[in-house]
Structure 1
Amino acid sequence: MSTTYRLMQSNEEVAVLTLWSEVFNVPYHYEQARFRSDPLAHTRTYVAVAEDGTVLSTLHYLVSLRRDVDGTPRRVGEVDPVATRAEARRQGHAGRLIELALDALRHDGCAWSLLLASGEGRPLYERYGWRSFPERWRQGTILGSPPPGTHAYTICPYDPRVEPDGWERLGVVAHAYNATRPLTVARDADYWQRYAAIRVSHWITAEGLVILVAHQSSSDHALRGYAMANFYDVGFVVRELAMLPDDSAVVPELLTRVVQEAVQRNSPLAGLVNLSYEPQIGQALAALFGETLHTRAETGQLLARTIHPDFTDVQLNAIFADPRALYSSIDHF
């Protein structure tokens, strides 16, 4: 039986999204929203199709603008893991789709490519040139009483889905914080509304994500910083934190408020944080976790490779090695 490898057709959308939903164990409506957040999804999704029209395997990619080590945005190909029907695995479909995607990334002018892979899938992507890079999550446990806040800022919950200009206000803070930060996506207002909002809204609805924002005072409506955190039976996770350049003092205030939220929810005071390695961040984490603070063992799931011949491995390595670098899961479905 012959198999055709090509771009998906519009009438195959349901089959593609159903396959994603089943393979990645994610609700269909979420995959549908994710797919439609990319206006070019139909021209960036490759499929392996059997003679009877069955979609056997599929790969989607999108192009984002990620900042270089000097803050310059470059086109980066964000590749979704290949999704293959159980009965069609280990038949070479994934490799054929990856080759098509690599050709497309070169045609689209991408400097390099990024993907998240499972432990099982990583050897496949490594054969095609992707390499593992550190995510550098840190974790620790609060052994004594949670530290009291200084009340230098007013910290309160925030739901961007209902707040006036909710996403745009978060975007202002994120842009100021990440304007020259390596590895971060250059998120404009449209990106927040069309793309990031889908991811964050899903976390709020399905996983109970809490967004905490900082104001200078109760009468000040401007956001000075924010933190996004989840609370689980095993501890809390700080997914993202950002602040205005002159408000570095907001970091310990936001982290303290996250801990207070964990106490209120009876969540263990074991924290996992995705924050940069800059001095003010390190000091705040050391004050919070003390001697228990350490870097989590790397999972090897974050992979990258160069695409454009003028973009070198040295340049790619420098992005991930920079202590300011930050990879946020908001930007990668």
Structure 2
Amino acid sequence: MTPAYRTARPDDEAALGALWTTAFTGAPVEQLWRLAPERHRRTLVAVDGDDVVSALHYQPRPLRSATGTVERVGCVGSVATLPRARGRGHVRALLAAAVHAMTADGCAWSLLFTDTPGVYEGEGWQTFSRPTWHGPPAGPATRPAPEVHVRPARAADRAPLAALHDAYDAHRPLTTVRTADDWAHRLPAWYAPVTTDTLVAEDAAGRRVGYVVLRRHDDGTTDLDEIALGAAAPAEPLAGALFAAAAERAGPGAVRVHLPADGAVLAALPALLAEAWVTDDRTGMARPLHATTAAVRATVTAPGATHWHGDSF
């Protein structure tokens, strides 16, 4: 039987949930999908007989460009195929349909993240580079004396942290313009407190002046996934204090740093990593739609360009 490709229907939800639960163990894919506006028409499925065997979802999100403008970007995620249906071209067909849908939806370009870029390259997406540092956590002897107080985040910190984030990313390419709904739902989903620490820095007056987010994994490794440094404290000592606190909380394995290559971040890395090795993360991929190839490439390769894990899709 020839497979059919179409948009999702309400009666597909159970099958989609089962597919994503199998493909993305521990990730809040279905949870966030159920909150997405117009989720059915923006979810494309391959149906073999009565079974949904492959799916992807795209969601338009407001991202900052290299010029500082905010663009509507088609963020592609939740791409999964049942094991018995792999190798039959379902994802390629769904991607081709997604290109048409995102173009009609007014998206300037499309963004996705993957460890298997080959199939996406065939449909017009191209990888881009993001520097990542990794190494063992720094020991107490190498940590500077903190000039601010660092503590775990509390529920009452949400609004001040959102303000810090907005100011820090105000002109940063590739970052998402977060809404109150993002802070209420998306951030708690991706930064679950069971595995994640958000550490807040306060100055002597009790003002929140910065934060970092780290995620610990079962294998003992830790990812440092987000930072915001406020203007009310010197950037390098502030980053150093946050990094020192993160090193104390990191697991025994390597720490991976997914942060922008800003001067204060680079200068403070010794407070976090005893040794630092840089690798070239090429999991990000972009495809022009209404925008030009040059404009998209300028955004994803701009100095300091960053896409935070909490804005995953």
Task: State the TM-score, normalizing by the size of structure 2.
Answer: 0.91
The residue aligned with 2:75 is: 78
Is the Cα contact below 8 Å between 1:138 and 1:293 reproduced in 2? yes
Question: Structure 1 stretches of 5 or more lacking a match?
Answer: none
Alpha-carbon distance between aligned partners in 1 of 2:145 and 2:60, rounded to the nearest angstrom: 42
Q: Secondary structure at the match of 1:43?
A: coil
Alpha-carbon distance between aligned partners in 2 of 1:332 and 1:303, rounded to the nearest angstrom: 13
Matched, 1:189 2:180: yes
Paired residue total = 310
Deviations 1:161-203 (A, max 9, x none): xx23x433321111010010011001122221132232223xx
Deviations 1:100-147 (A, max 9, x none): 11111101111111111233xx21110001111112111233576443
The residue aligned with 1:215 is: 202
Match of 1:49 among 44, 47, 50: 47
Amino acid at match of 2:286: A
Match of 2:149 among 154, 173, 195: 154
The residue aligned with 2:287 is: 305
Amino acid at match of 1:54: D
Amino acid at match of 2:43: T
| Cα gap change, 1:87 to 1:177, in 2 (>3 Å) | same
Q: Secondary structure at the match of 1:296?
A: strand
Matched, 1:179 2:170: yes
Is the Cα contact below 8 Å between 2:59 and 2:76 reproduced in 1? yes
The residue aligned with 1:274 is: 258
Matched, 1:138 2:129: no
Percent identity over paired residues: 30
The residue aligned with 1:93 is: 90
Identify, as 1 or 2, the structure richer in strand. Answer: 2
Q: CA deviation at 1:234?
A: 4.1
Alpha-carbon distance between aligned partners in 1 of 2:276 and 2:91, rounded to the nearest angstrom: 40
| Cα gap change, 1:43 to 1:274, in 2 (>3 Å) | same
The residue aligned with 2:224 is: 238
Alpha-carbon distance between aligned partners in 1 of 2:60 and 2:79, rounded to the nearest angstrom: 17
Alpha-carbon distance between aligned partners in 2 of 1:190 and 1:199, rounded to the nearest angstrom: 14
Match of 1:261 among 249, 271, 276: 249
Amino acid at match of 1:241: I
Displaced runs of 4+ in structure 1, greater than 6 A? Answer: none
Q: CA deviation at 1:331?
A: 1.0
RMSD: 2.1
Amino acid at match of 1:106: T
Which shifted more, 280-289 or 234-243?
Answer: 280-289
Matched, 1:199 2:190: yes
The residue aligned with 2:295 is: 315
Amino acid at match of 1:302: G
Alpha-carbon distance between aligned partners in 1 of 2:84 and 2:221, rounded to the nearest angstrom: 38
Is the Cα contact below 8 Å between 1:77 and 1:112 reproduced in 2? yes
Q: Secondary structure at the match of 1:316?
A: helix
Task: State the TM-score, normalizing by the size of structure 1.
Answer: 0.86
Alpha-carbon distance between aligned partners in 2 of 1:19 and 1:82, rounded to the nearest angstrom: 10
Q: CA deviation at 1:269?
A: 6.7
Matched, 1:296 2:276: no
Match of 1:229 among 214, 235, 248: 214
Is the Cα contact below 8 Å between 1:259 and 1:269 reproduced in 2? no
Alpha-carbon distance between aligned partners in 1 of 2:159 and 2:128, rounded to the nearest angstrom: 31
Q: Secondary structure at the match of 1:42?
A: coil
Match of 1:64 among 53, 58, 61: 61
Question: Structure 2 stretches of 5 or more lacking a match?
Answer: none
Amino acid at match of 1:55: V
Deviations 1:37-77 (A, max 9, x none): 212211211111223x2112111110101101122111111
Amino acid at match of 1:281: V
Alpha-carbon distance between aligned partners in 2 of 1:126 and 1:18, rounded to the nearest angstrom: 28
